[in-house]
Amino acid sequence: MSVRATPLPIGLQLLDAAGGKASSAATSVTADDIAQVTASGTKTVKTLSGRFVFGSILEDKVSGYGYVVNTSGLGEGSCVLLFTAGNDPIIHQEPFSIKGPRN
C-alpha cells in the first residue's frame, strides 16, 4: 500500500575507511535510486536524480549532507537510498523507513 506523498529529509555523513569524517563541500553526493526491502529481497522502486546539499544537518549541527526524498509511489516499510560520493564508483546505501499515518 502506498502512503501519502510526504517529503522525507535524510541526512548523512561520509566517513573514510578509518572511520574519520570525510564530509566536505568539495565532495559531491548524488542520489541514484531507492530500493524497497521486502521479504524476498530488494527491488528498485524509484530512480532519483539529484544531489545532496552540503551543510549543517541533524539537530546537533554536524557537517554533512541533506536530501529530501519524495515518498510518492513508495509503500510502508524499509527502504534503502542508493547514492554515490565524489569520484568513488561504489554505490553506497543509507537505510530508512516509511511509516503510514498515525491515528
Q: Would you tell me how many other CB atoms lie within 10 Å of the CB of residue 44?
A: 12
The three-state secondary structure class of 80 is strand
Examine residue 2 and state whether it is found in any structural domain, yes or no. Answer: no
Say how far residue 11 (Cα) sits from the centre of its chain: 7
Cell of 3: 502512503
Q: What is the pLDDT of residues 28-54, one digit of tens each?
A: 999 999 888 877 776 777 888 778 888
- Name beta bridge partners: 56: 63
Examine residue 21 and state whether it is found in any structural domain, yes or no. Answer: yes
Examine residue 1 and state whether it is found in any structural domain, yes or no. Answer: no
What is the tally of structural domains in the chain?
1
pLDDT at position 39, please? 76
Query: Which positions of the chain have pLDDT values less than 50?
Result: 102-103
Examine residue 103 and state whether it is found in any structural domain, yes or no. Answer: no
pTM of the model: 0.79
Boundaries of domain holding 40: 7-98
